[in-house]
């Protein structure tokens, strides 16, 4: 690594770090004021509010890394261009492609670091965010557990076991409910394929009901549809069901395989799993785009200019990515295509622009 590479990396890292910290702090402040009513209505302490924000920080960092890479690239190269430093380098026979090489390499390193962060740290911290919100702040004592890719829940009437809960349709799937009397004697077990929340009640489909009369043999009954009187609402199970953000790739892949083997639709989870792989790689694409915009002409730099372009590019990526993911969730396009569509579109645009840079 020569002096020029160290100088460019030093300027980029300085700007990148400042932008990443600023964006993270701004997001946490905005998120705090968005949830202030929830904090106050539940009489949350200052420690609980700070704990919620601190546990939320890794997730915010992983989301802000691509934007920080883009803005860092635009501003660092823009400033170099405005100060005629790029002109001086070109006069010494160094091509613009060679100048951009250290930033591209560093963006790959940042990409790997962002992936490791989202794979090994944010799943744990996202679980802590949920625990802080539902247990410590909202005081939900009956919070269940998500073990062996299943939901176990200690309800008011018994112990419930579900394969999964779909928060989009408020549907429980793979239901096993054990109901106990006050003496903790099992008097009924309900097995059902699914239960949907309709008109403030749970409606089960395809039930097998086993009753245990005192001193008698168990009685089996098949029922096509029945309302079950569970006092819990969808929000109670939402607090237990792990989201894709609370699972790493290995755990998410196991969950998908098990759920598919039981005959349930997993397209939403498969889309999000591919998105977990595709999203960190956008840092490299945005770095190349930032370099291409900055080096279009030697006087096109400037802070305001760089921030403006960064906002437009970042917003465009998020728009395409979110739209494609929503299509994947709905099953309109395959999960792989949904996750990689934004990267492919921006990657192609970045490659074309980078090849047109006047060296």
* Contact present, 106 and 12 (Cβ < 8 Å): yes
Extract the tokens encoding 354: 């980078």
For the chain, first and last CA: distance in Å? 21
Tokens describing residue 191? 């097995």
Asked if 305 and 82 count as a contact pair (C-beta separation under 8 A), the reply is: no
**Rounded distance between C-alpha atoms, residue 112 and residue 232, angstroms:** 42
Distance CA 71, CA 66 (A): 9
Residue 188: strand, helix, or coil: strand
Cα distance between residue 322 and residue 294, in whole Å: 27
In the block, residue with structure tokens 């160094």: 94
Q: Are 177 and 228 in contact (CB under 8 A)?
A: yes
Contact 204, 175 (CB under 8 A): yes
Q: Return the SS3 of 141.
A: coil
Partners of 205 in the beta sheet?
Answer: 194, 225
pLDDT of res. 148: 53
Helices assigned H by DSSP within 2-155: 3-34, 36-41, 46-82, 85-91, 96-116, 122-131
255 DSSP 8-state letter: H
**How far is residue 176's CA from residue 24's CA, in Å, rounded to a whole number?**
43
Token code pair at residue 144? 């269940």
Quick one: angle between helices 46-82 and 122-131, nearest 10?
A: 140
Q: Which helix (H) or strand (E) holds 184?
A: none
What does each of the 359 residues of the chain score in pLDDT, given as a tens digit? 688 899 999 999 999 999 999 999 999 999 999 999 999 999 999 999 999 999 999 999 999 999 999 999 988 888 888 788 887 888 888 888 888 999 999 999 999 999 999 999 999 999 999 989 988 998 876 556 666 567 888 777 788 888 888 888 889 988 899 988 877 788 899 999 899 999 889 999 889 999 998 877 888 999 888 888 788 888 778 777 788 999 999 989 988 998 888 788 889 999 999 999 999 999 999 999 888 887 765 545 456 666 777 778 888 898 999 999 999 999 999 999 999 999 999 999 889 988 887 66
Per this entry, what is the length of the chain? 359
């Amino acid at each position: 690594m020569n002096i020029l590479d160290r100088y460019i990396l030093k300027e980029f890292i300085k700007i990148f770090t400042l932008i990443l910290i600023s964006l993270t702090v701004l997001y946490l402040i905005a998120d705090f004021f968005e949830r202030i009513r929830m904090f106050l209505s539940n009489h949350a302490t200052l420690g609980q509010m700070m704990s919620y924000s601190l546990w939320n920080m890794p997730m915010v960092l992983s989301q802000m890394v691509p934007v920080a890479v883009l803005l860092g690239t635009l501003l660092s190269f823009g400033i170099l261009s405005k100060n005629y430093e790029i002109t001086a380098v070109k006069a010494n026979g160094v091509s613009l492609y060679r100048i951009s090489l250290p930033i591209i390499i560093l963006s790959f390193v940042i990409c790997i670091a962002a992936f490791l962060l989202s794979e090994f740290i944010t799943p744990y911290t996202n679980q802590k965010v949920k625990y802080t919100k539902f247990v410590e702040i909202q005081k939900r004592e009956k919070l269940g557990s998500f073990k062996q890719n299943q939901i176990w829940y200690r309800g008011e009437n018994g112990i419930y076991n579900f394969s999964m809960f779909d928060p989009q349709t408020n549907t429980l799937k793979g239901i096993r409910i054990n109901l106990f009397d006050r003496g903790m004697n099992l008097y009924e077990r309900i097995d059902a394929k699914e239960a949907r929340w309709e008109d403030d009640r749970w409606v089960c489909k395809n039930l097998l009901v086993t009753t245990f009369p005192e001193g008698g043999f168990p009685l089996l009954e098949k029922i096509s549809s029945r309302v079950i009187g569970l006092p819990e609402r969808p929000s109670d199970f939402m607090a237990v069901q792990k989201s894709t953000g609370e699972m790493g790739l290995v755990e998410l892949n196991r969950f998908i395989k098990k759920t598919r083997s039981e005959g349930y639709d997993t397209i939403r989870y498969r889309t999000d799993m591919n998105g977990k792989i595709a999203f960190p790689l956008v840092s490299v694409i945005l770095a190349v785009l930032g370099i291409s915009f900055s080096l279009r002409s030697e006087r096109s730099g400037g802070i305001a200019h760089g921030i403006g372009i960064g906002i437009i590019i970042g917003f465009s990526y998020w728009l395409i990515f979110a739209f494609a993911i929503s299509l994947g969730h709905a099953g309109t396009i395959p999960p792989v295509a949904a996750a990689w569509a934004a990267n492919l579109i921006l990657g192609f645009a970045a490659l074309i622009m980078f090849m047109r840079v006047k060296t």
